[in-house]
A and B are shown apart, each in its own frame.
Chain A
Amino acid sequence: MLRVKDGDEDSFRVLLEKHRNPVVHFVYRMVQDRAVSEELAQEVFLRVYRSRATYEPTARFTTWLFRIATHVALNSLRDGRNERRHERLDDTRDGEMPAREVSDKLPSAEQRLVYQVRLQEVRDAIALLPEKQRAAVLMHKYEEMEYSQIATVLECSESAVKSLLFRAYESLRARLGHMSKGGLG
């Protein structure tokens, strides 16, 4: 980012390649709307580009980036800019089964159906979490961020992050506890 600050556009391309997928996926899991999440992720990178001249490396770049991404996603949720429309399961591309869920032969229709029901349950359970808990879980589980990083992003203490996560996982255990590992039949 310091090279970007010095006007090196190629370094911005490198940053974009490295962080694009995590940012888009994080924002998507926050707002659960594909079109909105890509627009918001673009806004995140626009803000990074706009702020390149004033960037100060006070924290890790990833932390700073996710702080912007969280801010943009929470603003969008609070403004209700994305009407919460649950895409129909057969509409959504993340209805595809991940490779590790599929054995060497193609999944049967029943396996696909079970998988899609499980996926919808997970999405609903995440969507029902309060915004801050949701952001904390997504950063902890999917982005594998440290407590200190999550604390910086959410502007709270590390112990507050642990409490947030504990409460969030408690809710998720209550909602998803019935899903066993071998649930694909």
Chain B
Amino acid sequence: MNCPSRTQENLGILLDYVAGRLDSVNAASFEAHMATCPECAEFGRRQAMVWDALDVWEPAPVSLDFNRRLWQRIDVMESAPWYRRLADFMRFTSWKPAIPLTAAALVIAAGFLFDHPARDTAPSAPTASMQQTEVDQVQQTLDDIQLLHQFDATNPGS
């Protein structure tokens, strides 16, 4: 027999032996191995000790009204509107794994927006007022030229 403590595949033999789940043939074979393998013998001894220690923990009986409370909840669930059912479902669903994903998605989206600013943006306020000033100046110049023409027409000899 290959030493179970040295091969990954045979780890189950060690655990099954102590749990009493090995059939008689395999149990006898493992016992024969333990007689020559101090490592497995020590493992078996200490594992049996832990196995017995765990037997100490017997939980208390379930509450007597467990079934009644469950049927009450089923009745409430069956008569609840869809949004209440959804809320109940979400109450016992873990959202923690979604938090880093959402944060990562937001960072990527923000990075994309900063890297690709919108091209057809409306002119900013200073640009608009500058354009208005230029129109006023052109209008003023045209008025001045027209005034000069009128001046020339009324004073041809000057």
Contacts and interface: CB of A to CB of B under 8 A. Distances in A.
A162 B11 contact: yes
B98 to A, nearest CB: 12
A59 interface: no
A97 to B, nearest CB: 9
Interface string A1-45: 000000000000100100011001100110000100010111101
Interface string B48-68: 011111111111111100110
A169 B157 CA distance: 120
Nearest to A79: B94
A122 interface: yes
Given A75-B93, A79-B94, A122 B59 contact: no
A25 B69 contact: no
Interface in A142-185: 142, 144, 147, 159, 162-163, 165-166, 169, 172-173, 176-177, 179-181
Contacts of A56: none
B110 interface: no
Contact of A159 (B9, B14, B94, B96): B9
A101 B56 contact: yes
B50 A162 contact: no
Contact of A176 (B11, B53, B58, B67): B53
A47 B94 CA distance: 15
B82 interface: no
Nearest to B74: A49
B85 to A, nearest CB: 8
Interface string B36-52: 00000000001101111
Given A126-B57, A141-B19, A165-B11, 9 more contacts: A20-B67, A43-B92, A46-B77, A93-B60, A163-B8, A172-B50, A176-B50, A176-B54, A181-B49
Interface of A: 13, 16, 20-21, 24-25, 28-29, 34, 38, 40-43, 45-47, 49-50, 72, 74-76, 78-79, 92-94, 96, 98, 101, 115, 118-119, 121-123, 126, 140-142, 144, 147, 159, 162-163, 165-166, 169, 172-173, 176-177, 179-181
Interface of B: 8-9, 11-12, 14-15, 19, 46-47, 49-63, 66-67, 69-70, 73-74, 77, 92-94, 96
22 contacts: A42-B73, A45-B70, A75-B92, A75-B93, A93-B60, A94-B57, A94-B60, A96-B58, A98-B58, A115-B56, A121-B53, A122-B56, A141-B19, A141-B51, A141-B54, A169-B15, A173-B49, A173-B50, A176-B50, A176-B53, A176-B54, A177-B50
